[in-house]
């Protein structure tokens, strides 16, 4: 992607990467040629750091997120679509126990600010990696692929299927009916999860994108069903 390494002193300001790409890890992934050589230094004492350290081994100050790391690196996970949720939550708790801003209340302002940024970065990464739809979209984003927000170009058969399921949802007036519809959606999402995983394994990102578009519609239906179910439960108990 880079024509001249000289132009790219840092991927954060790299003129060869579109300025609207603001995600640090995405910018880094687009600029791996130069970031591979980027030496990490402690912001406080300027000594060289090893990549995996959250804290400087010399002055103990908390370090900023490594710009070369994507969310998977952050959690020591392989770049696969399927993730082990117990590994993920274990690592999340471990990172938050080290970086939570409460731990920095008697440190200087700069360290407090870094821990806040790092901690919210970890929360964001965790919420994305936990969610099958968001995780798939994130993996696509690492390939510089995104899905369109509008429905133009979306498979008409899929749109029709979703329309009918939405009608079925509107017509459902009992918890039993909603549960039966929820089962249908859950089966569809499970099937899609398997297909998305295979597509990523085969590095067929275009196919993965198609399945993720489907998953987006089914996930949104799933949310609507839950909301309606909660409303019905509330009515039942009022
Ligand atoms: Zn240091």
Domain layout of the chain by residue ranges: 1-38, 43-130, 156-237
For residue 59, the tally of other CB atoms under 10 A from its CB is 12
Report the separation in Å between the CA atom of 110 and the middle of ligand 1, taken as the mean of its atom positions. 13
Q: Is 106 exposed, middle or buried (0-12, 13-18, 19+ CB in 10 A)?
A: exposed
Of residues 182 and 152, which shows the higher confidence score?
182
* Ion ligand 1 — residues with CB < 5 Å: 42, 44-45, 56, 58-59
Report the separation in Å between the CA atom of 70 and the middle of ligand 1, taken as the mean of its atom positions. 23
User: Structure pTM?
Assistant: 0.79
Report the separation in Å between the CA atom of 188 and the middle of ligand 1, taken as the mean of its atom positions. 51
For 59-73, 117-131, 191-205, which range has the lowest pLDDT when averaged over its residues? 59-73
pLDDT score at 236: 82
Share of the chain above pLDDT 70, in %: 83
The residues, ordered by sequence, that sit 6+ positions from 219 with a Cβ below 8 Å of its Cβ are 132, 133, 189
Contact at 8 Å (CB) between 202 and 143? no
Q: Residues 106-120: pLDDT tens digits? A: 999 999 999 999 999
Q: Using DSSP, how many helices (H) and how many strands (E) does the chain show?
A: 9, 0
43-130: which CATH topology?
Answer: Helix Hairpins (1.10.287)
Report the separation in Å between the CA atom of 32 and the middle of ligand 1, taken as the mean of its atom positions. 25
- The CATH class for the domain spanning 156-237 reads mainly alpha
Report the separation in Å between the CA atom of 54 and the middle of ligand 1, taken as the mean of its atom positions. 11
- Cα gap 130→7, rounded to integer Å: 37
């Amino acid at each position: 992607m880079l024509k001249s390494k000289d132009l790219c002193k840092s991927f954060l300001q790299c003129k060869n990467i579109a300025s609207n790409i603001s995600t640090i890890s995405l910018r880094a992934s687009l600029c791996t040629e130069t970031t591979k050589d980027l030496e990490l230094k402690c912001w406080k004492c300027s000594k060289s750091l090893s990549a995996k350290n959250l804290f400087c081994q010399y002055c103990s100050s908390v370090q900023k997120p490594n710009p070369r790391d994507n969310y998977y690196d952050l959690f020591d996970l392989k770049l696969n679509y399927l993730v082990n949720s117990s590994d993920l939550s274990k690592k999340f708790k471990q990172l938050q126990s080290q970086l939570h801003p409460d731990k920095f209340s008697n440190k200087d302002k700069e360290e407090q600010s870094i821990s806040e940024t790092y901690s919210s970065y970890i929360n964001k990464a965790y919420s994305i990696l936990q969610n099958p739809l968001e995780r798939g979209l994130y993996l696509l984003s690492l390939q510089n692929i995104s899905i369109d927000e509008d429905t133009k170009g979306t498979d008409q058969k899929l749109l029709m299927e979703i329309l009918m399921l939405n009608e079925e949802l509107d017509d459902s007036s009992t918890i039993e009916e909603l549960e039966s519809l929820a089962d249908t959606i859950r089966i569809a999402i499970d099937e899609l999860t398997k297909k998305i995983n295979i597509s990523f394994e085969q590095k067929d990102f275009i196919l993965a994108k198609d399945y993720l578009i489907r998953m987006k519609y089914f996930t949104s239906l799933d949310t609507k069903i839950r909301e309606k179910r909660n409303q019905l439960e509330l009515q039942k108990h009022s």
